[in-house]
Amino acid sequence: MMRRASLASGHTLLEFVIAIALGLVVTAGVVALYTSQRTAFGHASDALRIRDAGLSALTLLGQQLQMAGFVPADVERFSVPPPLFGCSGGRPTGADSSSACETLPSHSDGVAVRYVGDNVSTWPSATGQSTDCLGQAVTSNNAALGTQGVQVVNRYFARLSSSTGEPELYCEGNGKAGSAQPLVEGVERVRLRYWVAGGVSALDASAVTADQWAKVIAVDLCVLVRGAPQARRLRYVDCDGASVLGVDTRARQAFWRRVAIRNQAEDLL
């Protein structure tokens, strides 16, 4: 009787193999669940970063476009270049009074926004001066303004960072020429189309004539934001509304907004 009890309490090789197999199945399930959850979390985080960058860029550019042509009430009218100047597939360069375009490898559009700054329309510097998009003090640059305000010129465009290799939205202010700095990471392209008073459709910058820049009353703004690499190439809708297969495995999303140039519209009424 003692011998039979001892034999009955042992495990066979078959039972041992079955137990190991069940353990491996459970472990594989846990690993697969962890991997899928980690991948889903990564995609969700990347989508959130893309959305945050896109909305930040839209807000920043939209606010600046709305400032175009602004003149404080205590500054009398004066003669300056048009409030806006844009480039198709390039960035504005040259003197503020005679802007030109420099082609960008990113094919991103660029725009120069001009308005009169004071301590209300811009954040004052430590010395109480008006500032540009980078917080740099802008000194008086138009005799007609006297000490009441200064002409602020901010130039926006998107390009790859030379240090990180990531696309970014840049701004160069006239507080310090040649001092373009990144503002929003991930912005791969800026697309701008302009509505001219009396026009029936929006125009690319290359189609806007020199005398029409003073008649722009609205801008169709789009920013294309690039995310982190994924497992495969993904489709996205670009700034022209076309469905495009990505050239790499990075996720992309376009964000749109139409901005009224309020100061211009008032002048043209």
Task: Tell me, letter by letter, the H, E, C secondary structure of the chain.
Answer: CHHHHHHHCCCCHHHHHHHHHHHHHHHHHHHHHHHHHHHHHHHHHHHHHHHHHHHHHHHHHHHHHHHCCCCCCCCCCCCCCCCEEEECCEEEECCCCCCEEEECCCCCCEEEEEEEECCCCCCCCCCCCCECCCCCECCCCCHHHCCCCEEEEEEEEEEECCCCCCEEEEEEECCCCCCCEEEEECEEEEEEEEEECCCCCCEEHHHCCHHHHHHEEEEEEEEEEEEEECCCCCEEECCCCCEEECCCCEEEEEEEEEEECHHHHHHHC
d(CA 55, CA 34): 31
pLDDT value of position 208: 95
Selected residue with higher pLDDT from 208 and 7: 208
pLDDT score at 52: 95
Does residue 34 surpass a pLDDT of 70?
no
Task: pLDDT band for 19, please (50, 70, 90 cuts).
Answer: confident
| Sheet bearing 203-204, strands edge to edge | 203-204, 187-196, 216-229, 250-260
Average pLDDT taken over every residue of the chain: 85
Choice between 74 and 174, residue whose per-residue pLDDT is larger: 174
Furthest-apart CA pair in the chain: how many Å?
116
Residue 56 has pLDDT above 80, yes or no: yes
**Given phi > 0 = left and psi -120 to 50 = alpha, else beta, which region is 233?**
beta
User: Alpha-carbon torsion 37, 43, 45, 47, what sign?
Assistant: negative
88-97, 117-126, 152-161, 217-226: which has the minimum mean pLDDT? 117-126
Task: Label residue 186 exposed, middle or buried (CB < 10 Å: 0-12, 13-18, 19+).
Answer: buried
| pLDDT value, residue 31 | 73
Average pLDDT over residues 176-183: 90
Average pLDDT over residues 38-56: 83
Is 231 a residue whose pLDDT tops 90?
A: no
Summarised one tens digit per residue, pLDDT across range 93-150 is 988 777 899 999 988 999 999 998 887 778 888 888 889 999 999 986 554 554 557 8
pLDDT given for residue 1 in this prediction: 45
Q: Which of 162, 154, 163, 80 minimizes the C-alpha distance to 110?
A: 154
Location of structure tokens 């991930």: 186
The pLDDT of residue 267 is above 60: no
Mean pLDDT of 58-73: 92
Token digits of residue 2: 């003692």
pTM above threshold 0.85: no
pLDDT of residue 9: 55
Beta bridge partners of 36: none
Q: pLDDT category, 37, cuts 50, 70, 90? A: low
Q: What is the pLDDT of residue 171?
A: 96
> Is 51's pLDDT higher than 90?
yes
| Percent of the chain with pLDDT strictly greater than 90 | 52
Q: What is the pLDDT of residue 122?
A: 85
